[in-house]
Amino acid sequence: MGFSDVNDAVQAPATVEEFRDRLTEVIDDLPRRLRQCADYIAANTDRIAVSTVADLAAGADVPPSALMRFCQILGFSGFSEMQRLFRGAYAPGWPDYSTRLKNLKDGGAGSPTALLAEFIEAGRLSLESLATSVDEGVLAQSVQILSAAETIHIIGLRRAFPVACYLAYVFEKMDVPAMLHDGVGKLDHRFALRPGDALLAITFAPYSEETLTLAQDARGRGLSVVALTDRLTSPLAKSADAVLTVPEVDFGAFRSLSATLAMAMAVAVAVGSARD
């Protein structure tokens, strides 16, 4: 009995989530051409709303009729019905987000609203770029290292300091033993680093000396070190067991921090729940 048989008929997915579920459900036992469709659609779901059968078929490198059969296997009556689902759900960002942004910028270069628009845009780009560039393996590894630690030491100075603070706050809320090395009073708490602890060090170019030093020191004492930095070639990478990189878009001299905070919080919350 083939896939196009009426007995296989199922109800068409009513939401994008149901669609994805159905897709993963069927993708494994599909003949060659239909499998190609599934793979291509899975990777380009967002283009369904704005493409024709011919476009997608060409992209998947199958004849249009194969794509039609694929739509039917998913439970739709045809391509149009499937497309309707995605056209309904289609919302490019906020309804008039880009209009608004343009209006803000029109306030004139250097005006507060124009600046705000720039910072918003920088933040958004950073976040989107983080989504596409994150290394899942390193992320998992970082979480594992920090979850296994007795006490988590956090260091991040100058512009990385807000991130370090927030991490300390989040860990505190989740009852994870953590210590913020904040350099207040030029006190240096390196002797608080004990075997079995781990260090989460944050710094971006130009890298702050104190952070690099503490990381080396921790490494020397046998602690695991997780780095949160801007590139893999950061000097911090040398003394780290796991290097999380965050592509942050600067505007003017200032860093947006949106992506860095998102990454930091994801790590913190994951560690918090892993320790429960």
Partner DNA sequence: ACCAAAATAGAATAAATATTCCAAAACTGA
Partner DNA sequence: TCAGTTTTGGAATATTTATTCTATTTTGGT
Please report whether residue 251 would count as binding DNA according to CB under 7 A. Answer: no
Q: What is the DSSP string of 52-86?
A: -HHHHHHHHTS-HHHHHHHHHHTT-SSHHHHHHHH
Q: Is 27 in the site for a second copy (CB under 8 A)?
A: no
Name the strand (E) or helix (H) holding 251: strand 250-251
Interface pick for DNA out of 11, 28, 32, 92 (rule CB under 7 A): 32
Q: Which is nearer to a second copy, 69 or 224 (CB)?
A: 224
Residue 42 or 205 with smaller CB distance to a second copy? 42
Question: What per-residue string of b and e applies to 229-249 under the rule 16 or more CB within 10 Å gives b?
Answer: bbeeebbbbebbebbbbbbbb
User: Applying CB under 7 A, does 47 fall inside the site for DNA?
Assistant: no
Smallest gap from residue 205 Cβ to a second copy (A): 15
Joined tokens for residue 18 = 């149901």
**26 touches DNA by CB under 7 A:** no
The amino acid at 46: D
Q: Which stretch binds DNA (CB under 7 A): 77-85, 99-107, 142-150, 203-211?
A: 77-85
User: Angle formed by the axes of helices 16-26 and 32-43, to 10°?
Assistant: 150
44 binds a second copy per the rule CB under 8 A: yes
Angle CA 223–228–229, to nearest 5? 125
Name the segment binding a second copy (CB under 8 A); options: 5-13, 99-107, 197-205, 234-242. 99-107
The footprint of a second copy on residues 255-274 (CB under 8 A) is: 256-259, 261-263, 265-267, 269-270, 273
Cα–Cα distance for residue pair 122/68, rounded to 1 Å: 41
Q: Is 83 a residue that touches DNA (CB under 7 A)?
A: yes
Strand, helix or coil for residue 12: coil
Indicate whether 206 belongs to the interface with a second copy (CB under 8 A): no
For DNA, the binding residue among 20, 21, 42, 77 (CB under 7 A) is 77
Instruction: Check binding of 69 to DNA (CB under 7 A).
Output: yes
